[in-house]
Structures are given as C-alpha cells and as structure tokens.
Amino acid sequence: MRLPILHIDDHLVVIHKPPGLLVHRSALSRDRMFVLQTLRDQIGQRVWPVHRLDRATSGVMVFALDPKVARDLAGQFERHEVKKEYRALVRGWTDEQGVIDHPIRDAESGAALQRAVTRYRRLARVELPVAVDRYPTSRYSLVAVEPLTGRRHQIRRHLKHISHHLIGDTTYGSGRHNRFFRERYDIHRLMLTAERLTIVHPVTGERMQFTALPEPEWQRVFTAFGWHQAQVPGE
C-alpha cells in the first residue's frame, strides 16, 4: 500500500488516510499494517503523529517530520486552533444546523465525563421509497460536522445521541440501515471522512488548508442520490 500524499515539505507531511487502517500499533489489535509505519517506509524518514483518526474514519491527517514541529502542531490541536471539518452520511433528516453539547466518557480509560461539543449543518437530504425500518420510506442526510472538542468517537456518539446514526457505524449505528447500504450500494465502511483540515504551518506561519481526495463509496452515494460533489464542507 502507498498512502496518498496531499502535501510534503521539510517539516510536515499530509496524507489522505484510507478507512480501516489503524494509525499506529495497538495491544488490542493484530493488524500488520499501520499508517505510521507505512508512511515512514514510503517517504524514508521518521514521522510523528500529532492527532488521530479512528480506524474506520478516512480523510486528511498531518504528521510532523521532527519533534519540535510535532510539539507545535499538537499544541494547535490542544488549543483548538485547528479547523476540522468532516463529511458524514446519517439516517434521517437532520435539522438544517445545530450544536450537540453532550458529555462523553472514555469507556477504555474509565475517566470521568468530559464536555464534548459538536457543530453540524445539513448539506443535502434524500427520501427513498424503501422500507428499511418501520416506516414505508427511508430518509438520509449529508452533513458537515465540526467537532469543537476532541473526545474519542465524539462524532459517532454525538450523532447517535440525536438519533441520526452514521451509516456504516457497526458500534453506534443501526444494523438495518448499515445492511441496506451494503446490499444496495456496496458500502462496507463507516461513512465519515475528515474532509478538510486547516492549520498554521509551524515554521513559515502560513495558514494552510488541505482537502480529502474523492472516494469511491462517496461517489456512489452522490450518484445514486443525485447530489453534487460541490456539496461538501466549506464550499
């Protein structure tokens, strides 16, 4: 596997992470391939992660090429100076826009509840003449999501909290709707992509924005639902 590189310079590298790939080794996983090691071997030098995406989530990720840059970039994330925009496909018709302010507990660490805030806006919606659940038709929304805090599985858990489960989410989602998308549209993944990432370059001070590459599953959904590719966060 070769990871798609969106940008590389002497200080950082930005990639499009594919879905289903862990960022780094985990004691809980038997995976043999990880983003960190794959990228290191691909560019021939060590890389430092400064943020994370879940295994199931695809999209834009930035890595530092030295410890000082890593500290600077990690600080931007910790201070919420980085703008992160995701594209999500969910069941139901969401409100046109909204803010989910609902605390989350990290089940793995057992830590106390932590404040978690997510902002979203609906980009498109569709109603299909198919009875996937208990209704005669099925509704879905394309939403742009901006997590204002960085809790584990925050977007997935927040969308479940407002009963707009992510399509393809086997942990927090709806099995019936996941199965429908597998059988009808050949979609076997979580439909959540880190669409856009905006940072300040740690060395040059330039404000830089990176956008995810087109993905076949999203292209199938856009074609099937008559949505336009321009319907993405920030456009």
Per-residue three-class SS string for 52-74: CCCCCCEEEEEEECCHHHHHHHH
Any idea which residues carry the catalytic annotation?
54
How many Cβ atoms from other residues are within 10 Å of residue 95's Cβ? 12
CA angle 100/105/106 to nearest 5° reads 120
Query: What residues have CB less than 8 Å from 165, skipping those under 6 apart?
Result: 90, 91, 159, 172, 173, 174, 177
What is d(CA 214, CA 103) in angstroms, rounded to the nearest whole number? 33
What is d(CA 67, CA 152) in angstroms, rounded to the nearest whole number? 24
